[in-house]
Amino acid sequence: MCAGVAEIVGALGVPHNPFSALLVAQDADGAAEPRRLYGAVAEHLHAMRPDTLIVFTTDHYNLFFELSVPIFAIGVAESTSGPSDYPMLPHYDVAVDAVLAKQIQTAVVDDGFDVGMSQEFELDHTITAPLGVMIPRMDVSIVPLWISTSMRPIPSARRCYALGSAIRGAVERSPLDRRVAVVASGAFSFEVGGPRMSEDSHVGVPAPEWALRVTELLAAGDIEALISETTPAQLAAAGNAGGEILNWIAMLGTFDAGAPLFIEAQRAEGHAFAAWSAR
Chosen residue from 139, 201, 209, 233 binding another protein by CB under 8 A: 201
Least distance in angstroms from the C-beta of 126 to another protein: 12
Least distance in angstroms from the C-beta of 151 to another protein: 8
Helical residues (DSSP H) of the chain, grouped into ranges: 18-26, 32-48, 98-110, 125-134, 157-173, 208-220, 223-229, 232-237, 245-252
Q: Is 103 exposed, middle or buried (0-12, 13-18, 19+ CB in 10 A)?
A: buried
List the Cα angle 48/52/255 in 5-degree steps. 60
Determine, following the binding rule CB under 8 A, whether residue 268 of this chain makes contact with another protein.
no
Chosen residue from 4, 70, 194, 221 binding another protein by CB under 8 A: 194
Residue 140 phi, psi (nearest 5): -150, 150
Nearer to another protein, 119 or 201 (CB): 201
Yes or no: say if 250 and 213 are a contact pair by the CB < 8 Å rule.
no
Determine, following the binding rule CB under 8 A, whether residue 16 of this chain makes contact with another protein.
no
H or E element in which residue 14 lies: strand 7-14
Report d(CA 258, CA 276) in Å as an integer: 8
Q: Give the strand pairing for 92-96 and 141-147.
A: parallel
Q: Residue 147's beta-bridge partner residues?
A: 72
Least distance in angstroms from the C-beta of 21 to another protein: 15
- The contact mask relative to another protein for 95-134 (x = CB under 8 A, - = no) is ----------------------------------------
Determine, following the binding rule CB under 8 A, whether residue 51 of this chain makes contact with another protein.
no
Chosen residue from 112, 199, 209, 233 binding another protein by CB under 8 A: 199
Least distance in angstroms from the C-beta of 23 to another protein: 16
Report d(CA 124, CA 59) in Å as an integer: 7
Determine, following the binding rule CB under 8 A, whether residue 66 of this chain makes contact with another protein.
yes
Instruction: Provide the 8-state DSSP code for 193.
Output: S
Report d(CA 206, CA 195) in Å as an integer: 10
Chosen residue from 39, 175, 193, 258 binding another protein by CB under 8 A: 193
Least distance in angstroms from the C-beta of 114 to another protein: 24
Instruction: Provide the 8-state DSSP code for 90.
Output: P
- The contact mask relative to another protein for 137-176 (x = CB under 8 A, - = no) is -------------xx-------------------------
Chosen residue from 62, 156, 234, 277 binding another protein by CB under 8 A: 62
Least distance in angstroms from the C-beta of 150 to another protein: 7
Chosen residue from 36, 46, 202, 279 binding another protein by CB under 8 A: 202
Helix (H, G, I), strand (E, B) or coil at 74: strand
Report d(CA 146, CA 127) in Å as an integer: 10
Binding site for another protein (CB under 8 A): 60-62, 65-66, 84-85, 150-151, 191-197, 199, 201-202, 206, 240-241
